[in-house]
Amino acid sequence: MTAAVSLGCFSPKKICSILAVISFNFFALHCISEALINFGGVSERFYQDFFDAINLDEEFNLTAIYSGLLLCVSSFLLKQIALSCRGGDIRGWMLLSKVFLFLAFDEVFQVHELFVISDLRQYVHPSLASIWVIPYGILFALFALKFIPFFLRLRRRVAVFALIAGGVYVTGAIVFEALNSWLVRTDQISRSGFYYELISGFEELFEMLGVIIFLYALLLELRSRFVRLEYNFTVK
């Protein structure tokens, strides 16, 4: 016996709008919970499970899994575009698919934190105290040099959204991270205080919005190739 499950028909704009609303709701819950802890005298221990689940600065919780799923879907769509290609472009799309799959794993399990070596902090600027922003920043610059010409060859609308997505994502992942590091290292805010968590919230929000904008660009590209997109799940 086979049952087909239909998810309905949604436009790229509708899909990404829903994802953006979910992201803003996570951000709002994160900020409210941190305000209750830091200014409202609410015991974090009493609400520990809930606060841990929605904390945008934690690993392997509800928000991290959501962000990871966004990146996984991006990886999947990139692979679908690659499979529809003919010629040399297939390698570029497949490489991007693998990069996003790694980013999804990193987002959930915080692999980049392995680069945080405390002994090196005394040798770098306070904004680079997280350390991982250095190798990741270099890798981003190299990939940008490789893929900006690649995206510029696409239809203008897709290329513009892809480049905006990259800018928004990097603003969250590196710029806000560097800002937090600088403020903590110069003793302007506390590592366990509200303002640190607020900036961390903006960091994750920008990352999620960057991925969502990129998803929109990918959906536009797929729609230009296939006119109509449908994915059905079959349960046997």
Mean pLDDT per 10-residue section of the chain, whose length is 236 residues: 52 93 95 88 70 81 92 95 81 93 86 70 80 86 89 90 95 93 93 93 96 96 73 55
Residue 153: C-alpha distances to residues 89, 150, 160, 219 (Å): 10, 6, 11, 17
pLDDT of residue 10: 78
pLDDT of residue 88: 64
Query: Which structural domain, as residue segments, surrounds residue 18?
Result: 3-235
The tally of domains found in the chain comes to 1
Residue 173's identity, in one-letter code, is A
Beta strand pairing call for 3-5 and 233-235: antiparallel
pLDDT of residue 5: 42
pLDDT of residue 152: 87
pLDDT of residue 97: 95
pLDDT of residue 229: 59
Q: What is the pTM of this model?
A: 0.88
pLDDT of residue 6: 46
pLDDT of residue 1: 45
* Among the listed residues 27, 3, 2, the one whose alpha carbon sits nearest the alpha carbon of residue 207: 27
For residues 150 and 221, what is the distance between their CA atoms, to the nearest angstrom? 14
Strand partners, 233: 5
